[in-house]
Amino acid sequence: MEVLMQPSETGGAQVSILTSVNGFGAGWKRVMDRFFAKYDGAVRIHINDAGATPGSVMLRLEQAVEMIEVHEVIKR
């Protein structure tokens, strides 16, 4: 599984998901809605799930946010 998170150049969120599971668009939408309900920001996210569950991907997204927050604290 690969989760990349970068600042968005458009000022809004952009998400792309590469998955091998057909017909799971509604499930991914729920995962991303839950993520953006918890975290707000202009971010570009690319996910290659490599067959991982949405719950695992959500964990990786939350870990990425945590690393960004830690980096911002250290930078100050």
CA dihedral 61, 47, 53, 70 (to 10 degrees): -20
Return the pLDDT at 42. 86
Over 7-19, what HEC string results? ECCCCCCEEEEEC
Give 10-residue mean pLDDT values along the chain (76 residues): 88 90 85 91 90 89 89 70
Return the pLDDT at 76. 63
Distance CA 44, CA 21 (A): 22
Return the pLDDT at 27. 86
| Domain ranges (residues) in the chain | 2-75
